[in-house]
Amino acid sequence: MEYGYIQVRDDSTDENAQLNVWTLDGDRSLKYLMKFALNEQHFEDTTIVLVASLKHPWKIMESLEFWSARLQDHIDSLNLGMEQTQNLRDKCVDRIIDYTLLDDPSYESCTKVRLLNEGVLSKNLGLDIIVVITMTDCIKNLEIDNYSEEHFDYIQCCLRKFCLQFGAALFYVSVMEDKNCDLLYKYLMHRIYRFPFKTPALIVEKDSVFVPSGWDSLKKIEVLYENMQKINPESH
């Protein structure tokens, strides 16, 4: 496991902060190291970033499902207590509802019973989660290998359904082409330090997708089905 940090400065207050970053290698045998980064003391202040590469698109979902399951197992092993766990999950629900209300003022909300759209937060871990798909510049190579628009729509569909379960945001990024890297940083600052952030969802360009937490729904995802003639969108 690697440790690093990001220097954060709030220009409005001239205050500085240090954002600690723990990076766990994708080697599955190292899953036990998770305990050193995520514990009871810092749980509430932790944001999880799950990373997969578009260089090998056929491995993406298996990797995300493996690590999200290990994350769930680790959280279950922590001594958080039922009340604290419920409070953390309630905060995740509130964040989703609050964004939904900003995006769609017609969305009905009740202060006592806050209903989520179907499929949203069905796996509520009590943590902010961001899914980052790297190396989107590899799309050009995949197209040479006969990947079509339908394939990329299917990949996006699977990823958005996965994110919906956890209430997670989704980013497609490319360091080589500088796609969404700065946007990801700003979004992290927004989620962790509540810095202002007003960028809407970006789902048109297949190599720079951005879906903020709380924006998506099964109905929006199903729009992608219209372009799928050879692939069953429900096959995953």
* 177-197 tens-digit pLDDT: 999 999 999 999 999 999 999
Smallest CA-to-CA distance from 236 within 227, 225, 226, 71 is with 225
pLDDT tens digit sequence for 115-137: 788 889 999 999 999 999 999 99
Low-confidence residues of the chain, pLDDT below 70? 101-114, 236
- pLDDT at residue 231, rounded to an integer: 86
What percent of the chain stands above pLDDT 90?
A: 77
Task: Please give the structure tokens belonging to residue 152.
Answer: 């990329």
d(CA 110, CA 121): 18
Q: Where are the domains of the chain?
A: 31-227
